[in-house]
Homo-oligomer: A and B are copies of this chain.
Amino acid sequence: MATEKKHKLKIIPLGGLGEIGKNMTVIEYGTNIIVVDCGMSFPEDEMLGIDIVIPDITYLIKNQDKIKGICLTHGHEDHIGSIPYLLKKINVPLYGTKLTLGLVENKLLEHKIEDAQLNRVEAGQTINLGCFKVTFIRSNHSIPDAVSFAIDTPIGMIVHTGDFKIDYTPINEEVMDLGKLAECGRKGVLLAMSDSTNVERAGFTESEKTIGYKFLDIFKTCESRIIVASFASNVHRLQQIINAAVANNRKVAISGKSMINAVKVSQELGYLDAPEGTLIHINDLKDYKDSEVVLMTTGSQGEPMSALTRMANSDHKKIQIKQGDLVIISANPIPGNEKTVSRVINMLYEKGATVLYDALTQVHVSGHARREELKLMLSLLKPKFFIPVHGEYRHLMQHAKLAEEMGIPEKNTIIGKNGDVIELTSKSIAINGSVQSGNILVDGLGVGDVGNIVLRDRKLLAENGLIIVVLVTERGSGKIISGPEIVSRGFIYVRENIDLIEESKSVIRKALSKCEDTKIKDWNNIKMMIKDALSSFIYEKIKRNPMILPIIMEVKPDDMSSICDLLKEELEV
CB pair B458 A465 closer than 8 Å: yes
**Which of B342, B393, B564 has a CB less than 8 Å from the CB of A485?**
B564
CB pair B465 A457 closer than 8 Å: yes
* CB of A54 to closest CB in B, whole Å: 16
A517 adjacent to chain B (CB < 8 Å): no
A445 adjacent to chain B (CB < 8 Å): yes
A124 adjacent to chain B (CB < 8 Å): no
CB pair B560 A558 closer than 8 Å: no
* CB of A505 to closest CB in B, whole Å: 11
* Closest partner residue, chain B, to A560 (CB atom): B481
| Cα of A551 to Cα of B471 in the assembled complex, Å | 12
* CB of A407 to closest CB in B, whole Å: 21
CB pair B483 A564 closer than 8 Å: yes
A454 adjacent to chain B (CB < 8 Å): yes
CB pair B487 A571 closer than 8 Å: yes
Q: Which B residues are in CB contact (< 8 Å) with A570?
A: 470, 485, 487
A555 adjacent to chain B (CB < 8 Å): yes
Most chain B CB within a 10 A radius of its CB, from A347, A462, A494, A558 = A462
Identify which of residues 505-548 in chain A touch chain B, using a CB-to-CB cut-off of 8 Å: 539, 541-544, 547
| Cα of A489 to Cα of B541 in the assembled complex, Å | 25
* Closest partner residue, chain B, to A397 (CB atom): B349
**Which of B445, B457, B571 has a CB less than 8 Å from the CB of A490?**
B457
CB pair A551 B445 closer than 8 Å: no
Identify which of residues 313-352 in chain A touch chain B, using a CB-to-CB cut-off of 8 Å: 335-336, 338-339, 342, 345-347, 349-350
Please tell me the size bucket of the interface on A: 35 or more
A476 adjacent to chain B (CB < 8 Å): no
Interface string of A438-461 (1 = CB under 8 A from B): 000001111001110111011111
* Closest partner residue, chain B, to A449 (CB atom): B492
A131 adjacent to chain B (CB < 8 Å): no
CB pair A446 B544 closer than 8 Å: yes
Q: Which B residues are in CB contact (< 8 Å) with A360?
A: 200, 398
| Cα of A392 to Cα of B346 in the assembled complex, Å | 7
Q: Which B residues are in CB contact (< 8 Å) with A200?
A: 359-360
CB pair B397 A48 closer than 8 Å: no
Identify which of residues 350-365 in chain A touch chain B, using a CB-to-CB cut-off of 8 Å: 350, 355, 359-360
| Cα of A541 to Cα of B449 in the assembled complex, Å | 13
A30 adjacent to chain B (CB < 8 Å): no
* Closest partner residue, chain B, to A567 (CB atom): B485
A557 adjacent to chain B (CB < 8 Å): yes
| Cα of A192 to Cα of B331 in the assembled complex, Å | 35
| Cα of A18 to Cα of B342 in the assembled complex, Å | 11
Q: Which B residues are in CB contact (< 8 Å) with A543?
A: 444-445
CB pair B465 A568 closer than 8 Å: no
Q: Which B residues are in CB contact (< 8 Å) with A278?
A: none
A182 adjacent to chain B (CB < 8 Å): no
CB pair A491 B454 closer than 8 Å: yes
A45 adjacent to chain B (CB < 8 Å): yes
Interface string of A546-565 (1 = CB under 8 A from B): 01010101010110110110
**Which of B18, B345, B465, B564 has a CB less than 8 Å from the CB of A394?**
B345
| Cα of A470 to Cα of B472 in the assembled complex, Å | 13
A493 adjacent to chain B (CB < 8 Å): yes
A464 adjacent to chain B (CB < 8 Å): yes
A468 adjacent to chain B (CB < 8 Å): yes
| Cα of A336 to Cα of B343 in the assembled complex, Å | 12
Most chain B CB within a 10 A radius of its CB, from A392, A461, A465 = A461
| Cα of A208 to Cα of B539 in the assembled complex, Å | 43
The contact sample of 23 A-B pairs, CB cut-off 8 A, is: A45-B45, A48-B462, A48-B463, A49-B465, A336-B338, A349-B397, A355-B394, A443-B542, A443-B544, A449-B497, A449-B542, A454-B491, A461-B461, A468-B549, A470-B553, A483-B564, A485-B567, A487-B570, A487-B571, A487-B573, A489-B547, A553-B553, A555-B560
7 tightest Cβ-Cβ pairs between the two chains A and B: A444-B543, A462-B462, A485-B567, A49-B463, A461-B461, A457-B490, A458-B490
